[in-house]
Amino acid sequence: MRKFFSIVLMISLISVLSFGGGTIKIGVDFPMTGVVAGFGQMTLDGVKLAHEMYPTVLGKQIELVVMDNKSDKTEAANAAARLIEKERVKAIIGCICSSNTLSAGPIAERAHVPMVSNASTNPLVTQGKKYVFRVCFVDPFQGKAAAIFAYNELGVRKAAVILEVSQDYSISLAKFFKETFKKLGGKITKTLFYVTGDQDFTAQLTSVLATRPEVLFVPGYYPEISLLVRQARQMGYKGYVLCGDGAEAPELIKIGGKAVEGLYYVTHFDPKMAASEMTGKFVDAYTKKYHKGTDALGALGFDAYLVLRDAIQRAGSDDPQKIRDALESTKGFKGATGIITIHHGDPTKSAVIKKVENGKFVYAGFVNP
Ligand code: PHE
């Protein structure tokens, strides 16, 4: 018995010595259930991989505390509050959907706990905030990239837009797409709306398709995009479909089937980017662990974790205020998705254009800022 206790004592002594006697808690605020649960799973895969590869910082173990925001704005704010007040996390990774980050962000801001979003692209997410950061590009750039691609690469001049009116992401992306498309000389033939959960888009499509657009721009999320595009094809629409980053999830192809073949979208990652030596490391480790191809959300989740860990390292402390200050001065960080330098909360990065081909997401081009 005594021998057993001394072994236990020795083991705990070793872990105290090697991990500095504690853990650093990082909260994760993701949609693990609800309408866009697919996004939560893809991102968590990337965060977990990064955690597995780099589990410690400052000689301490990093502990991830995952909270499900159920794809909902109120729940996203509640999850942030619980992570901060109950779990006492030092920083938060999240959210994914801009509307959720816009509602959880102010909670982190008030509590002076830094938050890093991997994927929220609406400009307001970081605007005027001192504690909210992101590792992805923003919608003014994403919308511009989509418009340039449509005008120059697809060669179209008439676009119609169908957007989700309650998602800040959809609203901003539609706005910036339209702005650039018109500036280039293109025409927006019609703009119509839907809300999350809608299943029948025939009313909007009837009116939109009557304007004979050459491209349908749908800056929404995969559940509605897949149904909307199916209905558009059933109604005889033969033109292009172009979306934003919210299209990418395996469910798009599962639900959309043949109808989403040829669909183009703007996104954040492709192995071809070779942004830094981290790209290859990420791709190799990811495919080895999950036995599937990489995706943008996983890569961005991976980078969000690493940027945060790097900030803690540079801060030399797990004090949330010091982590915030270090995040603000992130410069030239070699991520899987790009070289990340944060300026006013945001990095400047390249966009990737992808296409659905034979039931797979394939690389179709780059757009540089
Ligand atoms: N950009 C989306 C938003 O702001 C989130 C997203 C990013 C979803 C990348 C999928 C892939 O809401």
Question: Which residue's CA is minimally distant from atom 10 of ligand 1?
Answer: 246
pLDDT exceeds 70 at position 211: yes
| pLDDT score for 222 | 98
Q: How far is the CA of 331 from the centre of ligand 1 (A)?
A: 23
With a cut of 50, say whether residue 364 has pLDDT above it.
yes
- Take atom 9 of ligand 1 and give the residue whose Cα is closest: 245
Q: Helices 296-315 and 277-290: crossing angle, nearest 10°? A: 120
For 180-189, the pLDDT digits (tens) are 999 999 999 9
Q: Which helix (H) or strand (E) element contains residue 64?
A: strand 60-68
Name the residue of 103, 132, 169 to mutate for ligand 1: max ligand atoms within 8 A of Cβ.
169
Mean pLDDT of the chain: 95
pLDDT at 363: 97
What pLDDT score was predicted for residue 73?
97
Is residue 1 very low, low, confident or very high in pLDDT (cuts 50, 70, 90)? very low
Confidence of residue 21 (pLDDT cuts 50, 70, 90): low
- Residues contacting residue 235 through CB under 8 Å, at least 6 positions apart: 202, 205, 206, 209
Ligand 1 atom at minimum distance from 96 CA:
5
How does pLDDT run across 151-202, given as a tens digit for each residue?
999 999 999 999 999 999 999 999 999 999 999 999 999 999 999 999 999 9
Give distance in angstroms: CA of 96 to centre of ligand 1.
6
In this structure, how many other beta carbons lie within 10 angstroms of the beta carbon of residue 148?
Answer: 18
In terms of pLDDT, which residue wins out, 1 or 203?
203
Out of 29, 102, 121, mutate this one to test ligand 1's pocket (max ligand atoms within 8 Å of CB): namely 121
pLDDT for position 215: 99
User: Looking at residues 341-353, what average pLDDT do you find?
Assistant: 97
**How high is the pLDDT of residue 275?**
85
Residue 136 CA to ligand 1 centre (angstroms): 9
Distance 121 CA to ligand 1 centre (A): 6
pLDDT in tens, 261-318: 999 999 999 999 888 999 999 999 999 999 999 999 999 999 999 999 999 999 999 9
Token pair of 174 as six digits: 């539609």
pLDDT of the residue at 18: 47
CA distance 91 to 262: 40
Residues with CB under 6 A from ligand 1: 39, 96-98, 119-122, 169, 245-246, 248, 296-297
> Going by C-beta distance under 8 Å and a sequence separation of 6 or more, which residues neighbour residue 310?
326, 330, 333
Q: What is the pLDDT of residue 273?
A: 87
Closest CA to 246 of 268, 264, 219, 226: 219
How many angstroms separate the CA atoms of 118 and 115, rounded? 10
Say if residue 3's pLDDT is above 90. Answer: no
SS (H, E, C) 13-54: HHHHHHHCCCEEEEEEEECCCCCCHHHHHHHHHHHHHHHHHC
Which pTM was predicted? 0.94
State how far the Cα of 92 lies from the Cα of 132, in Å rounded to an integer. 9
Segment 239-255 shows an average pLDDT of 98
Q: Which percentage of the chain shows pLDDT scores above 90?
A: 93
With 0-12 CB in 10 A as exposed, 13-18 as middle and 19+ as buried, what is 86? exposed
Q: Tell me the domains of the chain and their CATH numbers.
A: 2-137+275-349 (3.40.50.2300), 140-267 (3.40.50.2300)
Angle of the 202-209 helix axis to the 222-234 helix axis, nearest 10: 60
Query: Is a pLDDT exceeding 70 seen at residue 8?
Result: no
